[in-house]
Amino acid sequence: MTTITETPAVDQGAAARQLSYVKAFNEGLAQAMREDENVFVAGEDVAGYGGVFRMFDNLLDEFGPRRMIDTPISEAALVGLGVGAAARGLRPVVDLMFMDFIGVCLDQIVNQAAKMKYMFGGAVSVPLTITTASGAGLGAAAQHSQSLEAWLAHVPGLKVVMPCDAYTAKGLTVSAIRDDNPVVVMLNKVLLGSTSEVPEEIYGIPLGQAYTARQGSDVTVVALGRMVGEALAAADELAAEGIEVEVIDPRTVQPLDTETMFASVRRTNRVLVVHEAVTFGGLGAEIAAQIQDAAFDYLDAPVLRIGAPFSPVPFSPVLEKAYVPDRARIAQGCRRLLERA
């Protein structure tokens, strides 16, 4: 096991440094590469071009073509390269650009990367990191906008992280690379330019540990990825109405820190789960089921889920906006929960 350094507290000082989500990812990756000579990056246009989302900017200059590798458009071979290299002791970071492209390499992710350690009787580990961009909001339509975390979180052997801001993007990326298992880092496309306070030193955020982004006593909102920001905005709105919302960011959806949620539910007695992925078969269903299992007696209302309707992501901005859950729908959900009893 690799050890995870303590997560540094965010400095509230005036001089604290703001960094964008994409730069924070980039910095975490660069520091992890400096820390461990076995870390390398492979993907389409990651080296010479720096990645279509600027995720890999300047890394070729520092680490050279041995550790920054542009590959052909061959996602199955790309993930397979990562699996094989990881089995031989390297720590590959392979980039899939858009999450939707996992469709063409799912075998390597699900049947190979996720199962190798188990099937080999523990003889190898696969310290592979897969980076990708998920989410709607750019008018990128049905094949470039999906949030498929539920597919991956369903597979034993994989870990899945969904950073909601720049600070988390850096910390989770570092932890993913240091982790001895295949970890999928789902960056959110809409958040790429968003900024938050990011410490300069390298730090990991423990995988499988939720974060309480806001404390409140009336209702718990469990929000994934980009929905954390929407939930915090909804909480601000509701505070003006005298409703105190607690916002929990699981950060890692596999493994999932349910204890933090249970503890919150026991205090607030009401829960709303919100994610960008379609509601049906989404992680909201899993979280709701676990909460009612563990804390049924504490619930004053059934667990409510908010996600996307059961449709591919539409192109037209007017439809896309109606499709993706937002602060208004979250606030409305909280009010509905409070109307019961």
Partner 1 sequence: MAQRASKRPAGPAADQASAQVVMDLHERMVRIRLFETEAGRLMEAGKLPGFLHLYVGQEAVAAGVMAALRDDDQITSTHRGHGHAVAKGVSFRHMYAELYGRVTGACLGRGGSMHINDVSLGMLGANGIVGAGIPIAVGAAFAARYKEEDSVAVSFFGDGATNIGSFHEAANMAAVLRLPVLFVCENNGYAEFTPQSKHMLLTDVADRAAAYGMPSVIVDGMDAVAVHRATVEAVARARAGEGPMFIEAKTYRYYDHQGVKGLRHPYRSQREVDEWKARDAIDLLEARALADGTATRAELDDTWQRTRDAIADAIAYAEASPLPDTADLLLNVYSG
Ligand X SMILES: Cc1ncc(C[n+]2csc(CCOP(=O)(O)OP(=O)(O)O)c2C)c(N)n1
Q: Which residues bind ligand X (CB under 6 A)?
A: 44, 73, 75, 97, 101, 104
Is residue 75 flagged as an active site residue? yes
How many C-beta atoms surround the C-beta of residue 172 within 10 A?
Answer: 27
Residue 324 near residue 204, CB atoms below 8 Å: no
- Residue 139 CB, nearest distance to partner 1 (Å)? 3
Whole-angstrom Cα distance, residue 245 to residue 69?
45
Q: How many CA atoms lie within 13 A of 233 on its CB side?
A: 11
The one catalytic residue in 27, 37, 44, 144 is 144
**Contact of residue 322 among partner 1, ligand X, none (CB under 5-8 Å per partner type):** partner 1
Whole-angstrom Cα distance, residue 102 to residue 143?
11
Residue 177 near residue 131, CB atoms below 8 Å: no
**Contact of residue 69 among ligand X, partner 1, none (CB under 5-8 Å per partner type):** none
- Residue 292 CB, nearest distance to partner 1 (Å)? 28
Q: Which residues of 251-273 are buried (b: 16+ CB within 10 A; e: fewer)?
A: bbbbebbbebbbebbeebbbbbb
- Residue 322 CB, nearest distance to partner 1 (Å)? 4
Is residue 27 flagged as an active site residue? no
Identify the CA nearest to 90 among candidates 69, 74, 104: 69
**Contact of residue 328 among ligand X, partner 1, none (CB under 5-8 Å per partner type):** none
- Residue 69 CB, nearest distance to ligand X (Å)? 15
Whole-angstrom Cα distance, residue 146 to residue 151?
11
- Residue 105 CB, nearest distance to ligand X (Å)? 8
Q: How many CA atoms lie within 13 A of 135 on its CB side?
A: 22
**Contact of residue 193 among ligand X, partner 1, none (CB under 5-8 Å per partner type):** none
Residue 338 near residue 219, CB atoms below 8 Å: yes
Contacting residues toward partner 1, per CB under 8 A: 44-45, 48-50, 52, 70-76, 100-101, 103-104, 138-144, 309-312, 314-319, 322-323
Residue 134 near residue 275, CB atoms below 8 Å: no
The one catalytic residue in 44, 75, 276, 286 is 75
**Contact of residue 140 among ligand X, partner 1, none (CB under 5-8 Å per partner type):** partner 1
Cis peptide before 65 (omega within 30 of 0): no
- Helix (H) / strand (E) element for 84: namely helix 75-87
Which positions are catalytic?
Answer: 75, 144
